[in-house]
Structure 1
Amino acid sequence: MDKTASSRFNKTPIALCISLTLGFPIPIVSAQEIEEEVETLRLETITVEAQKRKQSMQTVPVSVSAFSGKQLEQAVLKDIFDVAGLVPASSAFQTQNVTNTSFSIRGIGTSSQNFGLDPSVGLYVDGIYRARQSAMVNNLVDIEAIEVLRGPQGTLFGKNTPSGAILIRTVAPSHQNSNDFIEGTIGNYGLVNYSAAASFSAIDNVLAFRATGFGSQRDGFVSDVNNASDVLNDRDRWGARLQALYTPSDDISLRIIADYSEIDEICCAAPTQVSNAQANGIAGKFGTDSLLSQPPFNATIFDDSDFFANRVALSFLPESKVEDSGISAELNWDIDDQVSFVSISAYRRFDSFDNIDSDFTDAHLFGTQNDAEQQSFSQEIRLDYSGDNMSAILGAYYFRQDLDLDYSLYTGEQFNDFFLLGFGQGAFNDLLAGIDALSVATNGLVAPSAAPAPASSSFDHYAKQEHESYAIFGQVDYQLTQKVTLTAGLRYTDESKDLSTVFTESLPNSAEFPTFFTSVGDPTNPASLVPGTLLYGAGVAGNVLAGIQANTIDITSASGQAALAALAPFQRLGWGFNPLGAITAARSNISDDLDDDQVTGTIKLSYTPDRHTLFYASYGTGYKSGGTNTDRIADGFAPVFGAEKSKAVEIGLKKDFPAQDLRINIAAHSTQVDDIQENTFIGTGFNLQNAGDYQTSGVELELKWLPTETIEVDFVYARVNAEYDNFMRGNCWIAYTWHTGINDPGQQSSDPDAPNPYCDRSGGRPAGEPEDFAMLKVKKDFTISDNVDAYLVAEYSYTGDIVLDASNDPYAVQDHYNLLNLRFFMNFASYDMDVIFWGRNVLDEEYINHVNFNTPLQEGKMNAYVSDPATFGITVRKRF
């Protein structure tokens, strides 16, 4: 057994720059058989741990893409977003800050906007589950391998997940110092990356240490017209990792890893995608952009055509900070030649802070602040058995997470004006002026009006969640015949979550928060003018003022004093907040819990009729526990949502043509997801719910061809058909309906004056997932001199149309786009040094980065997140 507790890549003399291949489901094979395969083919053989043990990737009945550390280095893949861009049917992207990072595989992913959600894609570093998806965004340095597993992972890995897993293994300490290096990168936008790692042998063949460090700085590429140029979407991160490897005997190894990293960035820019200055299809209809461009706001307003100008106008620059740290211990003990024991223990802490101008304008309206702390402990124990015709794994897993979230939405100095002019369309101004005039006329006996939405108000909630998970799992690979292997696995998972959320609404000078109005109401809609609505109350108060002015109401009489009660609500500070929406309304505290258990598993059949032809078929189930909503949601909205479950069928064929140095891999899959957890922003808050049933299917084709000794061709294609089978209470169109007056076809209410607050999204597409993805890579090797080898690589990718919002609003669509990456690599053998000239998105393609959203409290307007422009640089890596 390898005492590094981590597998290595075994390479042929001609190594590929990037290998994107599905797993071969062949029977269990010996190391000698693998070595014979290496001698026959020039194609690379990779060892993976997709089934918690070392196997050639071609023998694993799992769809897996793998990247060696050397491939990462040569391709200058520095973070998980770079890697995801090369894996079929997968995506990774950030939204409003580095804390909000989302991953999806085969069209199944999870929004990171709510801390109560578990991810659909399991994230693991050195076997340790990372509960917060943002823990994966930092630089990939000193990495041994990355594996991306597609399909439900409901058997072997830590937390049960419905769509896939990403496994990262770091380089372990060594007594040979064979992996020591120092590396530096410079590029445009002021990019400076640096990293180094070295191993130290304290006791020969017994105790070794390894230290790794890195840093990354880069200017932003989006300018703020009020603050600075090229400041948003910058890079400022660093980290370190210290390891010890103790091998007191040939049968025992203990690896201890401690790591710490920080991110402190100005992220992320969301320019205006759709302006509401004037409706596109309704003449004379003006929105908040028109209002904010005028006094007293005088805000800088950008038109739709300015989106790709990479300019925004904010009241202040966003802050986004992360501290990620942990310590783990992995014990491997070979009990005998067939049985080994593995124990992995870990403690992790993840703290994040972000503060953003959440009206996304330079009017001083409102901002939001998140301060979150997450701590987790996990323990995994396994017994691994390997025999002549069978291998087996039996294990148990425990996970505990404590999450504390301190959230605040706060108002700026111009929010009161925005409320009066934007929501009341000026209708409240005459009312307030009348109350003030009456107050003057009575020498203050009648109190003056009060500000409906004063500055320095805050709407806070403190959420605390405790989460425990237990699991028992096992998997057996049994060789039925020389050509047929059966794999069967089962997992029992028990989940419990407790949530406590305290909501507070704070006004200036500690004034009492009023709750007498429940909705704003629509002056053009008579159905809204009912008791309890704000406009109804304003109408009654207006009638009282009119009666006083006409002398039909005598305020000195008992009936007149009673009539003055209609004015009282408008004499209370903050009277406009409660009807504005859930994010500024009072609500009761939440104390709830969730207990759930589930049995999941897999069964796979592998068939190899000959050495170079491989078939497999698999059925697997996955599971993502329910949760408790940690956002400020409307009172009465269920804070607990149920589990998400997936069932997937997959068939695959792999065919090698040794004489032609050609490999063709193809897999077809179909996944049914029940009660998918959907989180969509509707302009006044996030709707988090079990959306209903969801269906995704598709095909993945991967081809690798070495037509000559010096040319390599890779082609990847993925088709993902994904839609909601049943989503009866989804989000409705907002922007498109505002601009055109065309109602959402999913709106099921027959009364135009009383539409439902939800729409039928059955048959709609999920957000952020393209139907088609293809990539072609061509690599040309050549020799410059006796000591200098080189190659040139071109990668061209196509991404199909993407629906950017789960409402399927016609304005929320990103058209297909194409990216071109180029690299020129040189290896100076006499110096053991690599020099790489690289460029990404060299054609400077402009596209939205997977997500847009309805701008908060600005109906008809949309903002979206920008993608990286053309970047280029040079990387130098020296090995020792």
Structure 2
Amino acid sequence: MIKSSPRTLRPSLLAATIALSFAAAVPQGLAQQADDAQAPDSKPAKEGLETIVITAQKRAQNLQEVPVAVTAFTGDEMSESVIKDIYDLQTNVPGLGAFQSQSATNSSFSIRGVGTSSQNFGLESSVGLYVDGVYRARQNSMINNLVDVEAVEVLRGPQGTLFGKNTPSGAVLIRTVKPSHDGDDSFVEATVGNYGLLNLSGATSFSAIEDVLAFRVTAFSSQRDGIISDVTFGDDVINDRDRWGARLQALYTPNDDLTLRVIADYAEIDEICCGAPVQVSNFMAREIPGKFGSDAFLAGPPFNATVLNGGDDFFDRVTAVSFLPESRMKDRGLSAELTYDINDNYTLVSISALRKFDSYDTIDSDFTQAELFGTTNDASQESFSQELRIDYTSENLNAIIGAYYFTQDLDLDYSLFTDTYFNEFYLANFQGALDDLFNGINGLSAATGGLIAPVADAAPAGTGFDHRAEQEHKSYAIFGQFDYQLNDQWTLTAGLRYTDEDKELSTVFEENLPGGTPFPTFFNSIGDPTVPESIVPGTLIYGAGVAGAVLQGIALGQIDIMTPEGQQALQALVPFQTPGWGFQALGATTATRPDINATLPDDQITGTLKLSYQPDNNTLWYASVGTGYKSGGTNTDRIANGFEPIFDAETSTSYELGLKKDFPEQDVRVNFAAHHTTVDDFQANTFTGNGFNLQNAGDYEINGFELETVWLPTDNLEVKLSYALVDAEYKRFERGNCWVAYTWHTGIVDPGQESTDPANPNPYCNRSGDRPGGEPKNYAVLSVKQHFELSDDIYAYVLAEYSHTGEVILDGSNDPYAVQDSYNVLNLRFYMNFSDYDTDVILWGRNVTDEDYINRTNFNTPIQEGKMNAYVAEPATFGITVKKRF
């Protein structure tokens, strides 16, 4: 028999104590039952499978009796697993995706193939993120350390009824440890590891008025060197960790019927993030001999940049940039949760919250050592939310009815700025094509002693392409859901939600040349000099042709510049004598754009219907249909002509068939859920190399299933297997991104290109039938845990966790170069509990085989056709964690 430590239940019993006793959110009787089930000073009631209590339907229920696909963790499990932040959760949650990209303040989450990039501030999350019942509007606010957490639940499928801001793919619910009066839940914890990792955290509760008023203080900090080196700035400088935070709580319980919990929290991040080494170089085309790209001339003067090869060198984790990326974030909030038991049947719950989130990041957005251009994002968000509901509980009926209000103000200041050598970079792209014209104008200027101006800088350094986006957002909702027990075996669940959304959106675009010179508007496209019919008035090639003809006329004596006619002819040279004349022709990112002002009113009815069949205490069958929704908005980036800056709301419908089955005699648990999900007007966001293409993709379909099993073959051995199949594709996406890198290197045209004129391709391609970016079709994780006693007072276990991630399409264009092959990751852990000292010691390793893989996304390098960069995953990490309770 395995002995449990006084304050740590035996982990083998399905992570014993996943009971989530959310007393403030459930009737007092249910809450007390949950508390009794997980009393920390008692041993498990019996060996075998444990009861897991969750609140996925906003009341305490046995996981095996809830018709929802849910994965749940306790805070102790997360601590033992050395889960540092929400990104690490995906290892143990089938169907969950979470990854970081451009900066530490940009994070993306998905469930069952439906997710949202945070690269565009006009987007809301497809995955609802909640901490202590409060909706977090910005995905980025969730990336800080998960410390002093009581439990985490991941709900898969649309959440269109009960949870705050209606979401189309699922929800992540995080509940922190609440204050206590006895103070025996205090702890300090320290983790040290390679790459200079040092994590410190601690929490303590104390009673101000016995059984009436208690407080809890939590604090943490996390420091680590980077995992990416730079040829100029040194080793291990990028993707570091530098973050800290604190939380102060008060719990007021003046009587048995009333509970008030107030939480104030604050967290900061200040990091060098994120590195994106070269994945595919364009020094020379892979399949077209003699074709050279931007890397070829960046390696020479005046740039003299270090050019990286990409390919196999990508996993050396080395970059060459002109300045290091910076990411800063401040997240803070104040919430109050009031629970009042009106009588034995009715409970009133109110959750109010104020939140403020600020982020700033600046990156070398040419991703080269040449000083070409960079970008900054400076954003702030303020929100207020109020939930008010009545919970009803009786013998055969449980019901919730409520209202929800959410409002936020979102401001974004964005700037793309040119650096020292951008003009030379621009001209290198036209090397030879315009040399005769430039030489002619400069020669004429010299011959006239400067009376006629020379060629001006086409793209001068210090130019800023700025925009300010503002959004005022109000959302109202009323909702209700009931569970009615038809008889001892059948239960009907039904819910409905009405949501009303109103957004006022404004984006002002500016182009600011150095010294306040007016921005030129001469040229709007490049054209193709080999196809005369593509050269139209207003294009750069047409203007160059007219100016060249004037110079030839002057050289032949056909134009006398001293005459009025000659002076008129010289006007053809003026565009090339005006600073910034090249920006209009460069692309949408640097061209003038009209401002955006829009009001987006919308409303939606969503809900759920479930039928559950429980023939015995160990079996639950259920069938459900649910719908979800998130509102539309405006693209806050500069995008190409042909793409609409306003995008519509996204809606989803999911059909699910599930089985939850325990085999007590064999100590086996099997939870299975098969689903079919359709998403209408899916909000797709993909980087094109010249800005983000954010638009409604059309119809998106996902078929799949999740399997979660637990087997306890002996008292000392635990085996878990989880698997998710996510078969997702765009059923209709007619205006998606086109291949860039693969076409440049091979000359093979994207099969989605529907233009039959090679000289005038569409700026978009048909992606119908393609897979979405960042979503593996197959994911599985197997863990084996062996328990043993080192002595009477030292309990221990060893655990091996092996995960398999199937092939991932890294980019929405499905470029053949944007494919990550399947990969496998091994995590190991050795845990010891010293009961006499109430102390845990954990030796751990993550990705111990140092598997190399791209972290879910790559992108076309800005304005460097044929080149790709990508975000690398963490290498092997090792460390030791010590946790002392008192």
Give the structure-1-normalised TM-score: 0.96
Counterpart among 312, 336, 347 of residue 340 in structure 1: 347
AA aligned to 1:317 is L
Amino acid at match of 1:104: S
Tell whether the 8 Å contact from 1:121 to 1:161 is kept in structure 2 after alignment: yes
**Counterparts of 1:590 and 1:850 in 2: how far apart (Å)?**
32
Q: CA deviation at 1:526?
A: 3.4
Find 1:62's aligned residue among 68, 72, 76: 68
Q: Which residue of 1 aligns with 2:525?
A: 519
Measured at CA, do residues 432 and 153 of structure 1 come closer, stay the same or move farther in structure 2, by a change above 3 Å? same
Identity, in percent, stands at: 65
Q: 5 Å matches for 1:373-772?
A: 373-422=380-429, 424-634=430-640, 637-772=643-778
**Residue type at the aligned position of 1:330:** E
Give the C-alpha shift of residue 446 in structure 1. Answer: 1.4
Equivalents in 1 of 2:386, 2:856: separation in Å?
A: 35
1:105-147 CA-partner distances (Å, limit 9, x unpaired): 0000001111010100000000000000011100000000000
Question: Which residue number corresponds to residue 371 of structure 1?
Answer: 378
CA distance in 2, matches of 1:167, 1:474: 19
CA contact (8 A) 1:399 1:470 kept: yes
- Indicate which of 203, 216, 228 corresponds to 2:234: 228
Residue 667 (structure 1) shift: 1.1
Please list the CA deviations of residues 546-585 of structure 1 after superposition, one character each: whole Å capped at 9, or x if unmatched: 2211222221223222211110111111000111111111
Q: Partner letter of residue 82 of structure 2? A: V
Give the aligned partner of residue 103 of structure 1: 109
Q: Do the aligned residues in 1 keep the contact of 2:649 with 2:681 (CA within 8 Å)?
A: yes
Per the alignment, in what secondary structure is the counterpart of residue 482 of structure 1? coil
Asked whether the equivalents of residues 30 and 60 of structure 2 are also in contact (C-alpha less than 8 Å), the reply is no
SS in structure 2 of the partner of residue 878 of structure 1: strand
Partner of residue 16, structure 1: 14
Matches within 5 A, 1:859-870: 859-870=865-876
Provide the secondary structure at the position in 2 that maps to 1:189: coil
* 2:316 counterpart of 1:312: no
**Whole-angstrom CA distance in 2 between matches of 1:221 and 1:178:** 38
Q: 2:272 — aligned with what?
A: 266
CA contact (8 A) 1:184 1:194 kept: yes
Q: Which residue of 1 aligns with 2:23?
A: none
For 1:681 and 1:231, locate their aligned partners in 2 and report how far apart those are by CA, in whole Å.
26
Residue 52 of structure 2 aligns to which amino acid in structure 1?
I
Q: Distance in 1 between matches of 2:275 and 2:341?
A: 52
CA contact under 8 A between 2:183 and 2:206: conserved in structure 1?
A: yes
Native 8 Å contact 1:10 1:46 kept in 2: no
The structural deviation recorded for 1:632 is 2.3
Residue number in structure 2 paired with 1:329 = 336
Matched-pair contact (CA < 8 Å) for 1:278–1:287? yes
Alpha-carbon distance, 1:11 to partner: 6.7
Aligned to 1:24: none
Separation in structure 1 between the aligned mates of residue 705 and residue 626 of structure 2, nearest angstrom: 17
Q: CA deviation at 1:798?
A: 0.3
For 2:607, the aligned partner's letter is G
Report if aligned partners of 1:221, 1:234 keep a CA contact under 8 Å in 2.
yes
Contact 1:121 1:165 in 2 (8 A): yes
User: 2 CA distance for matches of 1:766 and 1:236?
Assistant: 33
The residue that corresponds to 1:349 in the other structure is 356
How far apart are 1:590 and its partner, in Å? 1.3
Which residue does 1:823 correspond to in 2?
829
Distance 2:498 2:861 in 1: 43
Q: Check conservation: 1:19, 1:66, Cα contact below 8 A.
A: no
Contact 1:587–1:634 (Cα < 8 Å) also in 2 = no
- 1:692 CA displacement: 0.4
* Structure 1 residue 279 corresponds to structure 2 residue 285: yes
Cα displacement (A) at 1:473: 0.3
Query: Could you report, residue by residue, the CA deviation over 1:236-278 in whole angstroms, capped at 9, with x for unpaired residues?
Result: 0000000000011110010000000000000011011111111
* Correspondent of 1:119 among 121, 125, 131: 125
Q: Deviations over 1:568-627 (max 9, x none)?
A: 111111000111111111112111110000000000011011121210111000001111
Secondary structure in structure 2 of the residue aligned to 1:308:
helix
Report the Cα distance in structure 2 between the residues aligned to 1:271 and 1:526, rounded to whole angstroms. 40
Moved over 6 A (4+): 9-13, 18-21, 28-38
- Using the TM superposition, give the Cα deviation of residue 435 of structure 1 relative to its aligned residue in structure 2, in angstroms: 1.1
Between 1:42-51 and 1:737-746, the stretch displaced more is: 42-51
SS in 1 for 2:313: helix
- 1:544 is displaced (CA, Å) by 1.2
CA positional deviation for 1:522: 2.9
Please tell me the residue identity of whatever aligns with 2:166: N
Q: Which residue of 2 aligns with 1:839?
A: 845
SS in 1 for 2:467: strand
Aligned to 2:202: 196
Of the three residues 295, 309, 314, the one matched with 1:289 is 295
Structure 1 CA distance for aligned equivalents of residues 622 and 304 of structure 2: 64
Q: How far, CA to CA, are the matches of 2:317 and 2:564 in structure 1?
A: 63
Whichever residue aligns with residue 385 of structure 2, its letter is: S
Verify the 8 A CA contact 2:12 2:785 in the aligned structure 1: no
Cα deviation per residue 1:809-840 (whole Å; 9 max; x = unaligned)?
Answer: 00000000000000000000000000000000
Matched residues in 2 for 1:251 and 1:334: separation? 5
How has the CA–CA distance of structure 1 residues 18 and 768 changed in structure 2, closer, same or farther, with 3 Å as cutoff?
Answer: farther
What CA distance in whole angstroms lies between the structure 1 residues aligned with 2:175 and 2:741?
45
Q: 1:474 aligns to what SS in structure 2?
A: strand
TM-score, scaled to structure 2 = 0.96
SS of 2:862's equivalent in the other structure is coil
Structure 1 residue 500 displacement after superposition:
1.2
Deviation string, structure 1 residues 660-694 (Cα, Å, up to 9, x no partner):
10111111101000010001111111111001000
Distance 1:102 1:636, change over 3 A: same
Whether contact under 8 Å (1:13, 1:42) holds in the other structure is: no
Structure 1 CA distance for aligned equivalents of residues 618 and 335 of structure 2: 40
For the 8 Å contact 2:9–2:17, the answer to whether it is kept is no
Report the Cα offset of residue 214 of structure 1.
0.2
Which stretch shows the higher mean deviation, 548-557 or 300-309?
548-557
Q: Does 1:177 align with 2:175?
A: no
Cα distance in 1, alignment partners of residues 191 and 9 from structure 2: 26
How far, CA to CA, are the matches of 1:52 and 1:89 in structure 2? 22
Q: CA deviation at 1:31?
A: 9.2
Equivalent residue number for residue 859 of structure 2: 853
Amino acid across the alignment from 1:620: G
